[in-house]
Amino acid sequence: MSVMKRVMKELKELQENPLPDDSATVQPVNEDYMHWQATLTGPQGTPYEDGLFFLDIEFPVDYPFKPPKIKFTTNIYHCNVNEQGGICLDSLKDKWTPAYTCRQVLQEILALLQFPNPDNPLRADIAKLFKEDRAQHDKHAAEYTRKYAQ
């Protein structure tokens, strides 16, 4: 299967069978099917609740043998997302397998919003606050969500 066929199949699947609660939507950027914009709705019960977070997704020419490049374009206060929007997620790095789909990665990113991993942070200061003062961490995360993700 060609890269374009695979990407088109994944796009169609996500559009026709969205994630639960329409928590993630995707669309090509300027009709470039190798470059998508995803919109994630912050999970209920988290400091990201009701926020709209945008992700930039670029598929490499050797997809699915290499993972897509995915980053947040919405500013987010999260220990596993750096200031440039880079995401610390094993499935986007050394644990990637061609069996993965973009749908699965989006589900993992949503899970990361619910369950941050402070033991493998990109932002040590946020991870430290998460571990030492969860209420203060959540307050900062909710403020960022209101400021940047509405």
56-110 tens-digit pLDDT: 999 999 999 999 999 999 999 999 999 999 999 999 998 999 999 999 999 999 9
**Greater model confidence, 1 or 97:** 97
First to last CA, the chain: 39
- Annotated active-site positions, please? 88
Q: Residue 145: pLDDT above 70?
A: yes
Token couple for 44 = 């209920």
What one-character DSSP code corresponds to residue 110?
H
Q: Residue 21: pLDDT above 90?
A: no
Report phi then psi at 117, rounded to 5.
-115, 85
Burial pattern 34-73, b for ≥16 Cβ within 10 A else e, equals bbbebebbbbeebbbeebebebbbebeeebbeebbebbbe
Element (H, E) at 34: strand 32-41
Of the chain, the percentage scoring pLDDT greater than 90 comes to 93
Mean pLDDT lowest among 16-20, 115-119, 126-130: 16-20
What is the domain extent for residue 25? 3-148
Q: What is the pLDDT of residue 22?
A: 80
CATH number, domain with residue 60 = 3.10.110.10
Number of domains in the chain: 1
